[in-house]
């Protein structure tokens, strides 16, 4: 299990307590250090994860097509349209 970037302090405390009770888990001293680190660094960690996972509104390229199935094992599936969309996303300045 791993801690989530949007955990509040109560959720983190419950998570760390559960980790101390697991076989081979962390000690209560380690849990206290992790909780202190999280309290001091939660905002920059969260902002960093958001910036790495966010789509900054740049669509570099898009292509699409619609195919019709002309040969299949089951006759009722013939001429069933299938749309294929390909999008190339990017971040601003890249």
Number of domains in the chain: 2
Closest to 13 in 3D by CA, of 52, 59, 21: 21
User: Mean pLDDT over residues 48-62, rounded?
Assistant: 78
- Within a domain: residue 3? no
Q: What is the pLDDT at residue 82?
A: 84
Same domain, 19 and 49: yes
Distance (Å, whole) CA 20 – CA 31: 7
Distance (Å, whole) CA 72 – CA 35: 58
Same domain, 14 and 44: yes
Q: What is the pLDDT at residue 2?
A: 55
Residue of higher predicted confidence among 80 and 54? 80
pLDDT in tens, 19-49: 999 888 899 999 999 999 988 888 888 888 8
- Within a domain: residue 1? no
Give the range of the structural domain holding residue 65, as residue numbers without chain letter. 57-91
User: Mean pLDDT over residues 45-70, rounded?
Assistant: 80
């Amino acid at each position: 299990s791993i801690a989530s970037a949007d955990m509040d302090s109560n959720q983190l405390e419950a998570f760390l307590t559960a980790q101390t009770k697991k076989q081979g888990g962390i000690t209560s001293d380690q849990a206290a250090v992790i909780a202190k680190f999280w309290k001091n660094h939660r905002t920059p960690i969260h902002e960093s994860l958001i910036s790495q996972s966010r789509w900054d509104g740049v669509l570099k390229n898009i292509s699409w097509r619609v195919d019709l199935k002309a040969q299949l094992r089951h006759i009722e599936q013939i001429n069933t349209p299938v749309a294929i969309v390909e999008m190339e996303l990017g971040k601003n300045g890249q």
